[in-house]
Amino acid sequence: MQTLQTTSLRVVENQLFILDQQALPQEKSWLDASSVETLVGHIHALRVRGAPLIGLSASLLLALLAERGNSRDELAVALETLRASRPTAVNLMNNLDRMKQALWQEDFVPALVAEALRLIEEDKQLCDAIAKAGSALVKPGSRLLTHCNTGGLATAGVGTALGVIAHAHQQGLVSNVWVDETRPLLQGGRLTAWELGELGVPYQLIVDSMAASLMAKGEVDAVWVGADRIAANGDVANKIGTYSLAVLAKFHGIPFYVAAPHTTLDPDCPNGEAIPIEQRAASEVTGVAGSFGAVQWAPEKARVYNPAFDVTPAALIAGWVLDTGVVTPEAVSNGFFRGSAV
């Protein structure tokens, strides 16, 4: 495969490398991800993360394994192992469905390579289209609030919700971005803050529980988030804490927007209750670990409930910004996500 580089993925001499998103922003480290076991480990540890990026990394690895001479049967097993690595984000399943079709072509090796590269280029184009469509909803002087990380670190392109914010900033529409730290792994504090700083977008970091007070003071004009899965009725699964923001935004009369590519849609999933929610390790809540070592602040035997995602009902969402354009609540009520319009 040709040499390839995105913000978070790199292919060099038939080897896949991922940018370690656990080490950011203090360290920019590239890790080998050239085996199924290694990549699955990176996905579980959130060293590689973001719904679009997870799907793209799995697709690239399958193509590289094919070029190394893995048989069709071996690749089929690898594909299903990768599929099971992250249950909530549907981009992974959608991408691997396309790779599976390529796998069963007669000349499957070049077919897998071509499909993986096509997915990368498509994601870049999808991100650009989302950014353009979403920025049309941003008013001059906007103070925006975002949750988790939805930028170039999570995609092959400019990102989803953060791509919208960056594009709107380039147009002079953004005065400030409130960045939720985003529990449990502080992906807003570590990753979104870093990306906005790199882009020159003015931002302020807040703990997750501060959003309500900011909204009450009239300091938030809109909320922008991404999605890991959009159900047929418009319900959205996203990083834990998203639902809280949607409820707060509704109470304060603030528009709440979801930005995602069409690869995040799951028309076969009827509603949010049918979305599987990944449970994370208790240690992510009871303490913290990093290059500085490990700190335990909760009692050793503390019981922990640690879902990685929650579900935001469609009724709380002002608009779904896809690569195909803005989808209104009326369109969703009329079955947009269930029908052929998707």
pLDDT tens digits, one per residue of 81-102:
999 998 888 999 999 999 999 9
Kindly state the helix (H) or strand (E) to which residue 196 belongs, with its residue range.
helix 193-199
Q: Is 71 helix (H, G, I), strand (E, B) or coil?
A: coil
Q: How far apart are CA 101 and CA 106, in angstroms?
A: 11
Give CA–CA dist 278/330, Å, rounded.
30
Give the mean model confidence (pLDDT) for residues 19-36.
94
Per residue in 281-307, pLDDT (tens digit) is 999 999 987 767 889 999 999 999 999
Of the chain, the percentage scoring pLDDT greater than 90 comes to 92
- State the architecture of 132-333 in CATH terms: 3-Layer(aba) Sandwich (3.40)
Give me the mean pLDDT over the 115-140 stretch. Answer: 97
Which of 178, 182, 154 has the alpha carbon at shortest distance from 284?
Answer: 182
pTM metric for this prediction: 0.93
Q: Which among 327, 264, 4, 50 has a CA at the least distance from the CA of 162? A: 50
Q: Measure CA 151 to chain center.
A: 8
- Given a cut of 70, whether residue 340 has pLDDT beyond it is no
- Bridge partners, 296 (sequence order): 287
Q: Under a CB-based contact definition with an 8 Å cutoff, are residues 143 and 219 in contact?
A: yes
Average pLDDT over the chain, rounded to whole?
95
Q: Residues in the chain, how many?
A: 342
Domain ranges of the chain: 4-128, 132-333
Show Cβ contacts of residue 330 under 8 Å, excluding neighbours closer than 6 positions: none
The structure tokens listed for 35 are: 């085996």
Q: Region 244-254: what's the mean pLDDT?
A: 98
Structure tokens at 12: 């060099």
Q: What integer pLDDT is reported at residue 89 of this predicted model?
A: 86
Cite the active site residues.
228
Phi, psi of 93 (to 5 degrees): -65, -45
pLDDT digits 0-9 by tens, 149-184: 999 999 999 999 999 999 999 999 999 999 999 998
CATH value of 4-128 in 1.10.287.130, 2.60.120.10, 1.20.120.420, 3.40.50.300: 1.20.120.420
Beta strands in the chain (DSSP E): 4-5, 9-12, 15-19, 30-32, 142-146, 174-180, 203-206, 222-225, 229-231, 236-239, 256-259, 265-266, 287-290, 293-296, 309-312, 319-322, 325-327
Classified as helix, coil or strand, 177 is: strand
| Phi-psi group of 241: left, alpha or beta (phi > 0 → left; psi -120 to 50 → alpha; rest → beta) | left
pLDDT of the residue at 291 = 64
- pLDDT band at residue 271, thresholds of 50, 70 and 90? very high
